[in-house]
């Protein structure tokens, strides 16, 4: 069945370093969403990408959707302690299936 793999599972960075998480789907996605979940909290929507090759920015966060619409990335420039949490991608397949990646947990050392 359709799978969405997310890597890495964990990432520890020093404050100020950059961070990237990657999301790869076994099938073409109609769109992809990114969510952030703080420890003990619930997922909070960050952004949705729909078009092939789309790039969107939110301050220090850059989101990309691959040309083949099978992969995506989230890049954070100059991490801050407030960036701590787990970042999930959620793919929507052409059949409408909604699948979350396993998440990347980011720890930022001050």
Stretch binding another protein (CB under 8 A), from 13-21, 39-47, 53-61, 70-78: 39-47
Helices (H), the chain: none
Work out the number of other CB atoms within 10 angstroms of the CB of residue 90.
19
User: Which residue from 60, 70, 75, 97 is in contact with another protein, where contact means CB under 8 A?
Assistant: 97
Q: Binding to another protein by residue 85, rule CB under 8 A?
A: no
Query: Residue holding tokens 């789907």?
Result: 25
Q: Binding to another protein by residue 98, rule CB under 8 A?
A: yes
User: Which residue from 11, 21, 25, 33 is in contact with another protein, where contact means CB under 8 A?
Assistant: 33
Cα–Cα dist 58/77, whole Å: 11
Cα–Cα dist 60/23, whole Å: 19
Query: By the criterion CB under 8 A, which residues form the site for another protein?
Result: 6, 31, 33, 35, 41-45, 48, 50, 88, 92, 96-103
């Amino acid at each position: 069945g359709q799978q969405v793999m997310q890597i890495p599972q964990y990432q520890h960075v020093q404050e100020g370093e950059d961070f990237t998480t990657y999301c790869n789907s076994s099938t073409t996605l109609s769109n992809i969403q990114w969510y952030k979940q703080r420890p003990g909290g619930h997922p909070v929507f960050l952004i949705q990408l729909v078009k092939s090759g789309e790039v969107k920015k939110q301050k220090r966060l850059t989101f990309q959707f691959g040309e083949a619409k099978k992969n995506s990335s989230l890049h954070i420039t100059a991490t801050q302690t407030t960036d701590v949490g787990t970042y999930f991608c959620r793919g929507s397949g052409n059949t409408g299936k909604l699948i979350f990646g396993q998440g990347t947990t980011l720890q930022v050392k001050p």
